[in-house]
């Protein structure tokens, strides 16, 4: 009969500890990756939804301004017939907004057009569905995008002309060529980032009217789940798979003036890169601790094995006689207890590390500031305390140009420099956070609205004076709202601060605006 295989106590203890430590590390890794994936997924979904709502407001403001301009042309034409120079002056003032301006008679014949080289001759009868609809309804309209005889994909904004007696004389119209550079796509293109995020716009018929790939304009995307939800009158966010089989975190909403659907989305693959970095950091952090633990266990096991070896040796030499009384109590139980205590300490340290890593998920990985999720929780705490506070939202001006001109690495350095300046400018108990993209915010507890304005202005001036990596001045625009002065709900405070920020942008950037009644929409 073969000799039965035996194992030393030291070997068993080493294997037990190795298994325990590896199991703990595995649980830590799985938990951390799950927490990271869940947190980032929620952040991307919420951020894209907020971006979609912001772009919807911006687009609505732009369309309102364009419609007001055309309304003014129609009103002046009704009071006094415009000459060609009058329309040329209007076009010169609005060439950033329209590709052409024109006036028709009551049958749809072109009476005036600017510029003359737009391709439509005076007297031409316009027959498109958009023109027919404007002639029939005799009211201000923003048309559905349509393909003109010239082959261009066109959006027409029109307003009826009535003379002083109220007789219909035709309409004034402005055209936007959707496949060429225009005021709408210039606004929407400012929100592209290097992680694959992008924005697209769909009309009420489910056709693409803005997309980074211009060749897709006019394509129908009714099968897209986000578009289906938006056409059903819903706004929100969800993870979707597009027509090309790619998965995205999508936020969507409907623009109020035209009814267009605006979607902001980020590929879900961005989470894989984040998880790879997190896994690498966990392994690099845990490996030294694992080796240290194994070294300690080896020493303890060696001491126990030495004591047992001596006991076995004495037993063999005794020839089966009773062992001396002093050998009945050995040190092995004490050392096992010490091993247990060491392992328990190791597990506690690993748990503390897990909690630390989970805490790090609540911070923005680039700037080290609190992220959007942490800001939401902090804002709710501030509202529950009912202590007055002010919210400052700020946005790096023309950040896309920085990325385009100097690269995303330099752009990231600019964002980190802005974040550090925020920390240097504010007090220790002020709460600084990254709202998303190039947007940041500061929550000032218990401060007067005027004091918040002074903090914002000081921050703006310091950032403009920084010696930044681009070698050129970097500016920011800021908006301020206060609780309870401007609202008692989180959404009210954020919306007011965001509207004030947009007013700073619309007024020329590099300035601070405090929210007040009357800035909710851009006036013509």
The per-residue pLDDT for range 228-258, each reduced to its tens digit, is 999 999 999 999 888 778 899 999 999 988 8
The per-residue pLDDT for range 89-109, each reduced to its tens digit, is 999 999 888 999 999 999 999
User: What rounded mean pLDDT belongs to the chain?
Assistant: 83
pLDDT at 506 over 90: yes
State the Rg of the chain over Cα.
Answer: 34
pLDDT of residue 30: 77
**214/393 Cα distance (integer angstroms):** 33
3-state helix/strand/coil string of 330-360: CCHHHHHHHHHHHHHHHHHHHHHHHHHHHHH
Where does 372-514 sit in CATH, by number?
Answer: 3.30.70.270
**143/155 Cα distance (integer angstroms):** 6
pLDDT of residue 521: 36
Give domain 64-172's CATH architecture: 2-Layer Sandwich (3.30)
- pLDDT band of residue 122 (cuts 50, 70, 90) is confident
Q: Rounded to the nearest 10 degrees, what angle do helices 332-360 and 9-79 cross at? A: 10
The per-residue pLDDT for range 186-220, each reduced to its tens digit, is 877 755 556 778 899 999 888 998 888 888 888 88
| 81 contacts 186 by C-beta, under 8 angstroms | no
pLDDT of residue 153: 86
Helix ranges (DSSP H) in 268-371 = 270-318, 332-360
CATH class of 182-271: alpha beta
Residues of the chain by 3-state class (helix, strand, coil), percent to 5? 50, 20, 30
**270/286 Cα distance (integer angstroms):** 25
Rounded percentage of the chain residues whose pLDDT exceeds 90: 43
The per-residue pLDDT for range 455-497, each reduced to its tens digit, is 999 999 999 999 999 999 999 999 999 999 999 999 999 999 9
Q: Which two structure tokens, joined as six digits, stand for 147?
A: 């393909």
Q: Which two structure tokens, joined as six digits, stand for 136?
A: 């029939």
pLDDT at 315 over 60: no
pLDDT of residue 312: 56
Q: Which two structure tokens, joined as six digits, stand for 475?
A: 């500016």
Long-range contacts of 43-46 (CB under 8 A, 24+ apart): 43/371, 43/372, 43/373, 44/249, 44/266, 44/270, 44/271, 45/237, 45/238, 45/239, 45/249, 45/250, 45/251, 46/237, 46/251, 46/372, 46/373
**335/306 Cα distance (integer angstroms):** 12
Residues 6+ away with beta carbon under 8 Å from 150? 119
pLDDT of residue 168: 95
Query: Which of 3-17, 130-144, 306-320, 325-339: highest mean pLDDT?
Result: 130-144
pLDDT of residue 310: 54
- pLDDT band of residue 326 (cuts 50, 70, 90) is very low
The residue that leads in pLDDT, 268 or 286, is 268
The per-residue pLDDT for range 47-74, each reduced to its tens digit, is 899 989 988 898 899 899 999 999 999 9
- pLDDT band of residue 317 (cuts 50, 70, 90) is low
The residue that leads in pLDDT, 345 or 131, is 131
| pTM confidence score | 0.53
Query: What is the per-residue burial (b if ≥16 Cβ within 10 Å, else e) of 311-344?
Result: eeeeeeeeeeeeeeeeeeeeeeeebeeebeeebe
Show me where the domains of the chain are located: 9-36+273-352, 64-172, 182-271, 372-514
Query: Which of 121-125, 131-135, 149-153: highest mean pLDDT?
Result: 131-135
- pLDDT band of residue 419 (cuts 50, 70, 90) is very high
In the numeric block, the tokens 């202590």 are attached to 387
**35/174 Cα distance (integer angstroms):** 51
Provide the CA 506 distance to its chain's centre, in angstroms. 21
pLDDT at 313 over 60: no
The residue that leads in pLDDT, 146 or 308, is 146
Answer whether 64-172 and 182-271 agree in fold. yes
């Amino acid at each position: 009969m073969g000799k039965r295989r035996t194992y030393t106590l030291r070997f068993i203890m080493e294997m037990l500890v190795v298994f325990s430590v590896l199991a703990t590390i595995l649980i830590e890794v799985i938990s951390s990756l799950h927490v990271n994936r869940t947190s980032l997924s929620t952040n991307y979904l919420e951020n894209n939804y907020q971006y979609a709502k912001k772009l919807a407001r911006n687009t609505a403001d732009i369309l309102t301004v364009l419609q007001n301009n055309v309304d003014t042309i129609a009103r002046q034409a009704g009071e006094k017939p415009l000459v060609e120079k009058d329309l040329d002056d209007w076009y010169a003032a609005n060439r950033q907004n329209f590709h052409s301006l024109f006036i028709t008679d009551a049958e749809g014949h072109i009476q005036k057009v600017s510029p003359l080289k737009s391709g439509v001759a005076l007297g031409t009868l316009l027959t498109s569905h958009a023109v027919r609809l404007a002639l029939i309804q005799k009211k201000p309209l923003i048309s559905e995008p349509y393909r003109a005889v010239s082959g261009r994909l066109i959006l027409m904004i029109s307003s009826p002309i009535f003379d002083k007696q109220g007789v219909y004389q035709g309409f004034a119209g402005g055209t936007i060529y959707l496949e060429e550079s225009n005021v709408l796509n210039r606004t929407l293109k400012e929100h592209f980032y290097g992680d694959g995020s992008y924005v697209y716009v769909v009309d009420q018929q489910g056709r693409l009217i803005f997309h980074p790939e211009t060749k897709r304009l006019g394509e129908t995307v009714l099968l897209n789940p986000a578009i289906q939800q938006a056409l059903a009158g819903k706004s929100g966010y969800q993870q979707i798979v597009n027509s090309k089989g790619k998965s995205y975190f999508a936020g969507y909403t409907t623009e109020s003036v035209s009814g267009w659907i605006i979607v902001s989305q980020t590929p879900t693959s961005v989470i894989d890169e984040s998880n790879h970095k997190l896994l690498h950091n966990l392994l690099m952090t845990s490996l030294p601790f694992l080796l240290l633990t194994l070294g300690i266990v080896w020493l303890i096991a060696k001491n126990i094995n030495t004591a047992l070896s001596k006991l076995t040796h004495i037993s063999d030499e005794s020839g089966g006689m009773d062992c001396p009384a002093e050998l009945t109590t050995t040190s092995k139980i004490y050392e096992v207890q010490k091993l247990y205590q060491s392992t328990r300490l190791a597990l506690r340290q690993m748990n503390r590390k897990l909690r630390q890593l989970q805490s790090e998920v609540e911070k923005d990985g680039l700037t080290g500031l609190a992220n959007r999720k942490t800001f939401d929780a902090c804002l709710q705490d501030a509202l529950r305390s009912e202590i007055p506070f002010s919210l400052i939202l700020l946005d790096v001006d023309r950040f896309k140009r920085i990325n385009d001109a100097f690269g995303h690495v330099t752009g990231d350095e600019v964002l980190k420099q802005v974040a550090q300046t925020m920390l240097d400018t504010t007090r220790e108990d002020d709460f600084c956070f990254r709202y998303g993209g190039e947007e940041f915010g500061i929550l000032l507890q218990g401060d007067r609205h005027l004091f918040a304005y002074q903090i914002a202005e000081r921050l703006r001036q310091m950032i403009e004076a920084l010696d930044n990596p681009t070698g050129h001045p970097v500016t920011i625009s800021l908006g301020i709202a206060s609780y309870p002065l401007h609202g008692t709900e989180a959404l009210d405070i954020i919306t007011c601060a965001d509207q004030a920020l947009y007013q700073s942008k619309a007024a020329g950037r590099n300035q601070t605006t405090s929210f007040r009644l009357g800035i909710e929409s851009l006036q013509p």
